[in-house]
A and B are shown apart, each in its own frame.
Chain A
């Protein structure tokens, strides 16, 4: 499925985003949160890259920087759209961002807050078409009907308002809106974490089907590793603003090379009572991105930490083909992953 025809669709180089911390009456800047702290990766056409990590690790900020919903502090975001010309999204002046948005769209986490309750489905799904002046009125109407059908909703519901729909159906509406302009990259930020178990599966399947059908490329942001396994080609694990490991999905799950990945995998509750007790409990809490620990940011919680980890920050380096890790001891540890069910 990984269509490696030519250059990648998206390349991110050393992306950084700092949010200032302001205090006092004059709101003076007293420090900053380094939400994204030097992130690099690429996504090939037609593939799904997942970003995983605990809350506050910078997944969503990374995704929003790529869409230029927020402006990054530093770094390059090279996007090669339909015409194949490389554009640096990060450096683009704001007024040139708009045409680019037709190529990149987003599916949101909260199916309630992401749809304007005061607009009908037609207005919601048709808005991207309208503001980008695509087609005539009737063409837009037909396109909306087609999009609704595509995501599994009846086109007759076009005149209804979002309040008439359940969470899962609303998420379908959000997906239809994201697809309206036929984007090549879809950023899905926790698209199923607010949904019910049974609906979750429906939406995941829909996303996978749409990818096959329309040749979409996904950046999938999630905290749930079991969801990630069902959709991704490759997975990047983030910890306090940095990628600590990036590998093809199967490999990451079977042979993790970073202690944090091992801990995350071990922490996932397995839906089988016979596998009980194998859950490893990671002590402590996620580091504060306003004040990350020196050396390897994971060292206060890492069971394998040595003296070197406290002073020297590891770099993200190749561990095997297509497998990057940022840990001083990656080669000596031999960590445990998750196999197939026994």
Chain B
């Protein structure tokens, strides 16, 4: 490595360019990537928000609603206060668009008379009295935006006296036009929400920010106040405060008072959001880095903290507005909020309180429609914003944001058949074609292998020593179909798992190890699915095979295999346990479900099991929760859960990666001991080659979703054949190395999942690539030397496919 050799010492800023060649790490170029690379937070947020269709539509609806706020007078055609007893409770008119084949919108005039029996006015349309409609018609005078004097209205009648002849949504008891009043009401109701939220925002951000940044006693006091405020039932609080408003206050005063009352309660939620973000941000390393760089407190707050939660505040605010609107509407509806002559949705709906008038004049309920529409739209918009608020979450754009999933994910019982379901999200849905193309050969009822009284641990004798593998995976392909591309997470994985032996699956992050494990158990999350390949599991009785790739992931058989026949241990034991069930309970429930044991028996067996995995005082620990256990004990408990049904195969996905070396050694020793006892087959997924050397009998090396080399562990370590395996082995630091020696690193980095190289996947980084061959053709996994060694590389076999 020939780096530029000039010194950086001293304070002066060196301006010379380096002399030597510099090894540059190049994330490949493409236009899209270039665009994404320099995209700011707001751009990323917008791209992400845009994908949320419902949110975008809702935003348009909200936008329209606020257009009404601005243009209420223009959209109304009658003065909202113009009342006339002669027109009381008119029904809505129908607009007729054509007159004798020509486009000429008009309504029929109405003639009213009093019903002698009910004393109500009844109206009949008069088809002969056509009242033509006009757009931009003259009408009552107003000031547009409160400034520009105007008298035109969107809709009106030719003679300019729309009050007397146009009633699109009917009239109320006092004969006032509902449509026009609705326009005015929208203005009040939607602005009261905004004003309330603005006030809450100030209070919430200020108090939440202080609480989060200052901490200590201040934080404690503010938090207690928030808790007290939140624990008061809101409706009585509002009612009490609103009832205290003096009757003689003007409309404006009442309006302001209501805003204040509503926001007094509303700020607490925002304060919590702000404080939470502040606290979590303070823990972020980049804040420490800024401090170490010499940034002042103010700079850290203004330049690092505030931009980081601004987007969250916007989202939280959007979600707070509908709550404010609802509050005002309900208060006014109850007669406690705004009172006539003010006009708001709540005031309008008050007229619909009376069942009798509602029965006769159902149109009085029309103002409920905009309330519902606007509230829903605000909520969807807020949801979209919230999802987009942190565009860097989940690897940013790499993993496509998930739209809210319809509720077809199966409901799992607490001690679900699969260890750690809680963390896994939805189960995979097999493509329709695959799912039913072949009915499982066994009938549903046949017990898979579990006779309950045999329990888990006397199984050993049953698995025969025969060479046939218990599990064979052939050319498995699992893809994720994201909106902006297909991630071929697993793209040709083949390996065998034998009883009593350990297979290691090795590879770098993102090479598809975990997705392979999930595919075997059929728990791949959407939008992923198995597109082809076989996962053949040998049956215990007759030695036949079932192809798990063709089973319905939610079928009875699959659920029985998952957790029963095949156990799974995850890397992060904390997220795999439910926080609301004790560890023991989860084991007990699993055993009851799979083995049909009664509770006392299951409990006794769970205690045995916890003792077996080396948990001290299992009688007490069984009732503890996962968070009460240390990392090592948690991993042991997780192994106990995976083992509780006596699986034939244990899949351990990075079981020791989060642990210290000494604890790691303990867990690996435990796995070996259990395997010797139960003759279990273990699939050990890891990127730690030391662990592989220690534990495995066979090894499969994966690169970009494909198994590139497979063989017995000794052969893999002592005569690796694939250039990637060789490079990987060379690059790992070793305790046997000489002190302070450099490592021969693999050059370059893993390609982006959407840009897999053509030809041999490894060729851009391969030191032995054959020019003209490796970048054009795909090598296949073929045996070299002995049958149990397979390699996919043109150094070892000729080009077969064109």
Chain A residues packing against B (C-beta within 8 Å)? 1, 27, 54-55, 67, 69, 98, 101-102, 104-106, 108-110, 113-118, 120, 127-129, 131-132, 134-135, 139-140, 142-143, 146, 149-150, 152-154, 157, 159-161, 163-169, 172, 174, 177, 179-182, 196-202, 204-205, 208-209, 213-215, 223-227, 229-233, 249-250, 253, 263-276, 279-283, 285-286, 338-341
Contacts and interface: CB of A to CB of B under 8 A. Distances in A.
Contacts of B301: none
3 tightest CB-CB pairs across the interface, nearest first?
A269-B690, A164-B37, A201-B745
B25 A168 contact: yes
B661 A225 contact: yes
B743 A264 contact: no
Contacts of B23: 152
A167 B396 CA distance: 13
B451 interface: no
A153 B33 CA distance: 17
Given A201-B731, A271-B689, A163 B392 contact: yes
Given A106-B289, A230-B743, A267-B662, A197 B732 contact: yes
Contacts of B392: 117, 163
Contacts of B737: 226, 229-230
A152 B294 contact: no
Interface stretch (B280-288, B425-433, B786-794): B280-288
Contacts of A224: 661, 733
A286 B633 CA distance: 12
B739 A232 contact: yes
Contacts of A140: 13
Contact of B660 (A98, A174, A223, A340): A223
Contacts of B293: 101, 105, 127-128, 131-132, 177, 180-181
B290 interface: yes
11 contacts: A69-B292, A113-B284, A114-B285, A117-B41, A128-B293, A142-B13, A169-B25, A197-B728, A200-B732, A341-B734, A341-B736
Interface of B: 1, 3-5, 7-11, 13-15, 17-18, 22-27, 33, 36-41, 44, 220, 284-286, 288-296, 299, 304, 307-308, 391-392, 396-397, 508-509, 630-633, 660-666, 668-669, 687-694, 696, 713-714, 717-718, 727-729, 731-746, 749-750
B671 to A, nearest CB: 12
A154 B323 CA distance: 50
Given A108-B285, A118-B40, A268-B735, A279 B291 contact: no
A160 B662 contact: no
A270 B689 CA distance: 8
Most buried by B among A69, A110, A268: A268
Given A134-B13, A164-B36, A281-B669, A128 B294 contact: yes
A165 B220 CA distance: 40
A265 to B, nearest CB: 7
Given A131-B296, A166-B750, A205-B1, A198 B728 contact: yes
B693 A272 contact: yes
A253 B44 CA distance: 49
B658 to A, nearest CB: 9
A302 B131 CA distance: 101
Contacts of A281: 662, 665-666, 669
Contact of B733 (A102, A227, A338, A340): A227
Given A113-B285, A226-B733, A285-B632, 9 more contacts: A106-B288, A142-B13, A150-B8, A159-B38, A160-B38, A161-B37, A204-B742, A209-B1, A283-B666
A256 to B, nearest CB: 12
Contacts of B734: 226, 229, 270-271, 341
B749 A69 contact: no
Contact of A273 (B22, B38, B294, B714): B714
B714 A196 contact: no
A198 B733 contact: no
A193 B688 CA distance: 12
B689 A282 contact: no
Contacts of B22: 149-150, 152
B764 to A, nearest CB: 13
Contacts of A338: 735-736
Contacts of A164: 27, 33, 36-38
B292 A208 contact: no
B39 A161 contact: yes
A198 B727 contact: yes
A96 B361 CA distance: 78
A308 to B, nearest CB: 24
B733 A230 contact: yes
Contacts of B744: 201
Contact of A340 (B1, B632, B736, B742): B736
B401 to A, nearest CB: 14
A127 B223 CA distance: 35
A242 to B, nearest CB: 17
A265 B289 CA distance: 33
A152 B25 contact: yes
A182 B9 contact: yes
Given A150-B4, A196-B509, A113 B286 contact: yes
A197 B508 contact: yes
Nearest to B742: A205
B18, B38, B736 pick with most chain A CB within 10 angstroms: B736
Nearest to A126: B293
B277 to A, nearest CB: 14
A285 B736 CA distance: 26
Contacts of A120: 38
B294 A132 contact: yes
A161 B38 contact: yes
Contact of A213 (B5, B292, B391, B666): B5
A182 B11 contact: yes
Contacts of A150: 3-4, 8, 18, 22
A320 B41 CA distance: 57
Contacts of B40: 118, 161
A69 B286 CA distance: 12
Given A196-B508, A198-B508, A110 B285 contact: yes
Nearest to A194: B509
A169 B284 CA distance: 19
Given A131-B299, A182-B9, A225-B661, A101 B294 contact: yes
A150 to B, nearest CB: 7
Contacts of A117: 41, 392, 396
Contact of A116 (B304, B739, B742): B304
B740 A166 contact: no
Nearest to A64: B288
A55 B18 contact: no
A149 B693 contact: no
A223 B17 CA distance: 38
Contacts of B13: 129, 134-135, 139-140, 142-143
B285 to A, nearest CB: 4
A181 B11 CA distance: 7
B308 A118 contact: yes
Contact of B291 (A69, A166, A182): A69
A32 to B, nearest CB: 17
Contacts of A280: 665
A267 B694 CA distance: 11
A106 B290 CA distance: 11
Contacts of A161: 37-40
B713 to A, nearest CB: 5
A106 B24 CA distance: 23
A153 B26 CA distance: 7
B39 to A, nearest CB: 7
A140 B15 CA distance: 10
Contacts of B508: 196-198
B717 A270 contact: no
B1 A286 contact: no
Contacts of A285: 630, 632-633, 663
B660 A286 contact: yes
B735 A102 contact: no
